[in-house]
Chain A
């Protein structure tokens, strides 16, 4: 399998406390991501699962350089992302897009849905004629299950599941190769969350997408992951094929997480 993304010894520390009212002045540092390395193959879904505070969101954001790592390497199709600046970085970024957890917080409430979804085009393909921009926007909205009648409306007019579809449309309009999805279904109801998970799987097949899928939920990850990395205190404690991690875990913490999942009685 061809490697799309290579991550080596990625590290990020933050100053502990350190607010205006902090009494700590010793500069103690807190390690959010502690030397994480992995590769993601083209077309796979690489899931990172862990509890709150384990560093999974910091890791996700560093992959797109939304957070600058302290050290380490991120290579996208063999190009060193951390060495890029300006236009070169922008060119890479259009290949990698993010889907966020909270569909209420991640859409600008003052922008119409058509503008939100078309905004990446305005940035990355600013020469595109407006008719073509409109065509691309309505096509991607239709593809995620929203009509083009969504375009003149505002985010608050949509349910949580529909907003997440808007977020997915925005992420896909540039036809990226990599999607980093940070808890894309955890704010949604069960029946709607299942719709979004299936949509993400369909889109992956259709557009040959590669996913890095961040979640706290092993049952959710079990539905989509090719491989699973279990993260704790900034490090991967286990990485393996989904089947193996879920059913033949090697690590005690993985076992602990699995045994804490409330299971449904067998039908």
Chain B
């Protein structure tokens, strides 16, 4: 499989009153065409800031180092070095994003079809009006929106939450990107609707050979959509591997703790992780999870543990591995 996205040692720093914070800390990952990678983390883990860095949407003042390269239709581009002008050709056409809350990401006073058409026209400004309209309806149909001709003429508030998220997906895919970043796309939805959206994204990934970076806090959702999973904590990826393997045999104490804290339909096995996520401006010198870890040893606070391989494609940042 051809590699679409290759991220190496990506670091994002943001200025805060308490000094520079590193929401993304030497992150490396790769996604091939047609592959889905789940990125799991709690709030403050840096997962959203990572996705914004990959979209060129970081807040002003952010410092970025490391590399992120994307295989576009024409050539491989270094995302970390693009100018705003160059980003306009990449965003939408090569890499696109779906957000958690479709109501706040859609324009409330613009018809759904016109919004999708705008996404297409950004990359094909000379498209005739009739084709733009048809393109929008095709995009809605691809996202399995029933009666796409009717929906294209409606406004966002006339659609249910699930349909809005389908419209968002249609818009994200309208200009034919090869990599889709989905940031908690089903968190605001009911479970029955969530299942439909997850099935839709999975189908589109196979059909269009999309690379999918699926960001979520929900391990159950990751198990449904992602072949591989990366677990993030305090800005770093602390465990990565095939989803079934990582969830069935987690090796990092944080991943183990997250699994034990996740409610399932079985009762009684719930064990919370003590303490809270550390402040990014006051990270411990060694393993960031050390203060909450029940298996900690003296050497855990000495230095950040390196990634250690478990088998051929499963790795964790823990000295106990």
Please give the residue numbers on chain A whose beta carbons come within 8 Å of chain B beta carbons, in ascending order. Answer: 51-52, 159-162, 189-195, 197-198, 216-220, 222-223, 242, 246-247, 256-258, 260-267
Contact = CB atoms under 8 A, between A and B. Distances in A.
A176 B144 CA distance: 50
24 contacts: A52-B190, A159-B276, A190-B219, A191-B258, A192-B276, A193-B261, A194-B263, A194-B272, A218-B191, A218-B265, A219-B220, A219-B264, A222-B263, A222-B266, A223-B270, A246-B265, A257-B192, A261-B191, A262-B198, A262-B221, A263-B220, A263-B223, A264-B259, A265-B223
A198 B272 contact: yes
Given A52-B190, A260-B195, A262-B224, A220 B263 contact: yes
Contact of B270 (A198, A217, A264): A198
B263 A197 contact: yes
B249 A194 contact: no
Interface in B1-55: 42-43
**Chain A's interface: helix, strand, loop or mixed, by majority?**
helix
B268 interface: yes
B158 to A, nearest CB: 12
B103 interface: no
B273 interface: yes
Given A52-B161, A189-B43, A264 B247 contact: yes
Contacts of B249: 267
A264 B217 contact: no
* Max chain B Cβ within 10 angstroms of own Cβ: one of A159, A191, A256: A191
B220 A192 contact: no
Nearest to B188: A52
A261 B220 contact: yes
Contacts of A161: 276
A264 B267 CA distance: 14
A222 B192 contact: no
Contacts of B43: 160, 189
B257 interface: yes
Contacts of A159: 276
A256 B218 CA distance: 20
Nearest to B187: A186
B244 A265 contact: yes
B88 to A, nearest CB: 35
Nearest to B247: A265
B262 interface: yes
Contact of B257 (A191, A220, A261): A191
A190 B161 contact: no
A264 B219 contact: yes
Contacts of B244: 265
Interface string B172-211: 0000000000000000001110110010000000000000
Give me the 6 closest cross-chain CB pairs, A-B, nearest first: A262-B220, A194-B272, A219-B263, A191-B273, A194-B261, A51-B190
